[in-house]
């Protein structure tokens, strides 16, 4: 019996009831296919044994007989794939062997898309808008014709009629452009339009710029996140940030106690055990950007009003009555 077979028998042995090594190249256990004797729990009639270059399985109760490769498929397909790969590396697949050729899956290469747009700072209108809100125009881009720009990267709009200018907020993950938001510059029913170039990527702004070993502040919008240390923004509904390596998130919602949607989201976040910022009485501004423009030290306010558990519920119940 070769090394690979012995190794994988060892890997699955803990799952085989009453497993024991009888002698070299012979192992005995209760058959996992039929469950062996129902009356006598000490019966062990399943065997792994070696024949020439192959290891086989045989049960003397149900009569099941198969190669070790097929036996692994029955009890753990994931382990069988690892086994097939190692046998392949050893040259023990194909003709004269009873191990499958492993499947190799190759992903098509991903090419990085780039934003071929001017910075917002290069045009007076977006630069003026951002500067007035104490935002850095060099952090964002400008598209004079948003629909045309979006369609150049991904088919998004059926018609480019009634096109409009928008500030472009890029979304990066692992240094790849995965999407962007277009922010309207004037009065518009749709302030933000999000276009994802990779539908499986996180719809989150700022992921490439944070430390996951420290508290990560999670805001509702990209602009708000730029005013806080180690912050990201949800570009849509609440994102499951745990799957992106963030183990200590602090959620920050807009200061709108009469907004039922925000109230429900805060309640769910507290129930899930996360930390959340509950804005103190006396602050009338609805979001972080407005608070900054009012002269507040937002970072200090946030750090002083972060709660979790019962304390968060008590503070939240007071806040939503304001």
> Per residue in 148-174, pLDDT tens?
999 999 999 999 999 999 999 999 988
Classify 237 as helix, strand or coil.
coil
| Residue 233 pLDDT greater than 60, yes or no | yes
Class of domain 3-89: alpha beta
pLDDT of residue 108: 46
The segment(s) of the chain belonging to CATH 3.40.1360.10 are 202-322
CATH topology for 202-322 is Dna Topoisomerase Vi A Subunit; Chain: A, domain 2 (3.40.1360)
Backbone angles phi, psi at 205, to 5 degrees: -95, 130
The DSSP code for 119 is B
Of all residues in the chain, the percent with pLDDT exceeding 90 is: 57
| Residue 283 pLDDT greater than 60, yes or no | yes
Classify 268 as helix, strand or coil.
helix
205 pairs with which residues across the strands? 233
pLDDT of residue 2: 76
* Contact indicator for 71, 32 with CB cutoff of 8 Å: no
pLDDT of residue 111: 47
- Burial, 260: exposed, middle or buried (Cβ in 10 Å; 0-12, 13-18, 19+)? exposed
The segment(s) of the chain belonging to CATH 3.90.580.10 are 3-89
- Burial, 233: exposed, middle or buried (Cβ in 10 Å; 0-12, 13-18, 19+)? buried
Residue 57's nearest CA partner among 40, 81, 34, 84 is: 34
Give the right CATH number for 112-197 from 1.10.3720.10, 3.40.228.10, 1.10.10.10, 3.90.980.10: 3.90.980.10
> Per residue in 59-109, pLDDT tens?
998 888 898 988 998 888 888 888 888 887 776 655 445 565 555 554 544
């Amino acid at each position: 019996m070769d090394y690979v077979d012995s190794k994988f028998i060892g890997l699955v042995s803990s799952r085989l009831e009453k497993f024991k090594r009888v002698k070299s190249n012979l192992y005995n256990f209760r058959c996992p296919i039929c469950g062996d004797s129902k009356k006598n729990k000490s019966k062990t009639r399943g065997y792994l044994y070696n024949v020439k270059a192959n290891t086989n399985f045989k049960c003397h109760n149900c009569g099941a007989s198969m190669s070790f490769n097929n036996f692994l498929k029955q009890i753990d397909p994931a382990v069988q794939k690892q086994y097939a790969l190692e046998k392949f590396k050893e040259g023990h697949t194909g003709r004269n062997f009873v191990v499958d050729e492993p499947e190799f899956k190759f992903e098509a290469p991903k090419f990085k898309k780039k934003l071929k747009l001017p910075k917002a700072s290069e045009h007076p209108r977006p630069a003026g808008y951002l500067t007035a809100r104490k935002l850095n125009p060099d952090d964002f881009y400008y598209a004079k014709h948003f629909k045309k720009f979006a369609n150049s990267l991904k088919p998004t709009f059926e018609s480019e009629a009634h096109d409009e200018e928008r500030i472009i907020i890029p979304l990066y993950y692992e240094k790849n452009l995965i999407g962007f938001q277009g922010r309207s510059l004037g009065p518009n029913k749709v302030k933000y339009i999000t276009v994802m170039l990779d539908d499986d990527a996180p719809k989150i702004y700022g992921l490439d710029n944070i430390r996951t070993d420290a508290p990560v502040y999670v805001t509702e919008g990209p602009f708000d996140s730029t005013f806080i240390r180690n912050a990201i923004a949800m570009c849509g509904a609440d994102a499951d940030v745990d799957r992106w390596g963030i183990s200590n998130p602090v959620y920050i919602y807009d200061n709108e106690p009469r907004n039922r949607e925000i109230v429900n989201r805060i309640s769910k976040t507290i129930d899930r055990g996360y930390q959340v910022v509950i804005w103190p009485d006396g602050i009338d501004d609805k979001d972080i950007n407005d608070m900054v423009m009012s002269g507040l030290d937002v970072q200090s306010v946030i750090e002083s009003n972060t709660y979790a558990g019962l304390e968060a519920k008590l503070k939240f119940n007071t806040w939503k009555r304001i």
